[in-house]
Structure 1
Amino acid sequence: MNISISGHHVSVTEAMDSAVREKLAKIERHFDQIQSIQVILSLDNSGANKSHKAEAIMRVSGQEMFVQALDDDMYKAINEMGEKLERQVRKYKTKQERKKIQGAGRDARYDDLDLDDEVDEAI
């Protein structure tokens, strides 16, 4: 998994970097088919209060997932971003598992039919 962490109007400290990587490690435990994750940490100075923003773009085979979290504290924004991304990964994984089950279950409707008896009666 390729992880890219960058800052916009804020320098990324080692503590921020480790907090982001810790959150992403939890996500990787749920789903190991992640190709890359790009994280952008930014500071918005417009307005009276400073708003910290953490964004992540995660690429898996055939799809991109985007999450964004805003908070007064950068670490709270990072935690919220991680939680949102984890929810999206679990939802995506559940959909993939349901597709596998439905694909295999299509022929199950014929299990109730006893075709051998019908063939014997026809002969």
Structure 2
Amino acid sequence: MNVSISGHHISVTDAMNTAVREKLEKVERHFDQIQSIQVILSLDNSGANDGGKKSHKAEAIMRVSGQEMFVQACEDDMYKAINEMADKLDRQVRKYKTRQERKKVRGAGRDGRYEEVSGVEVAPAT
């Protein structure tokens, strides 16, 4: 799994890097077919001048075969944002995996219905 972590208006410390990688290991345990994950950690100072709080944002774009998943989390603490972002990504991965497993169980769909109907004899038209 290829993980890239970058910062926007913030420098990514070793502690942030470690926290992100540890949280993403949990996601990888649930689904091992991840091609890449791009994480962007950013700091929004727009409300800081007015006495508002700084907003920390963690975003992730994950690529799996045939699909791209995006999540973002905004919190007043960067580590809370990282935790929330990882939890959201984990939920999306589990949902995606469940959908993939359902498709395998159902199969083509038409074949199963055909077998159910094929047992019934149809009288020839006159």
TM-score (norm 1): 0.87
Higher helix share: 1
Q: Deviations over 1:31-90 (max 9, x none)?
A: 000000000000000012100000000000110000000000000000000000000000
Aligned equivalent of 1:121: none
Aligned equivalent of 1:6: 6
- Matched to 1:78, the amino acid is I
Aligned equivalent of 1:81: 85
Structure 2 unpaired stretches of 5+: 122-126
Identity of aligned residues (%): 79
| Other structure's SS at 2:107 match | helix
| Other structure's SS at 1:80 match | helix
Distance in 2 between residues matched to 1:14 and 1:37, nearest whole Å:
18
* CA RMSD after TM alignment: 1.7
Shift of 1:100: 0.6
Residue 95 of structure 1 is aligned with which of 90, 94, 99? 99
Structure 1 unpaired stretches of 5+: 119-123
Distance in 2 between residues matched to 1:114 and 1:60, nearest whole Å:
41
Distance in 2 between residues matched to 1:114 and 1:80, nearest whole Å:
52
Number of aligned positions between the proteins: 116
Aligned equivalent of 1:17: 17
| Other structure's SS at 1:101 match | helix
Distance in 2 between residues matched to 1:53 and 1:22, nearest whole Å:
18
- Note the 1:1-123 alignment, pairs <5 A: 1-47=1-47, 48-103=52-107, 106-109=110-113, 110=115
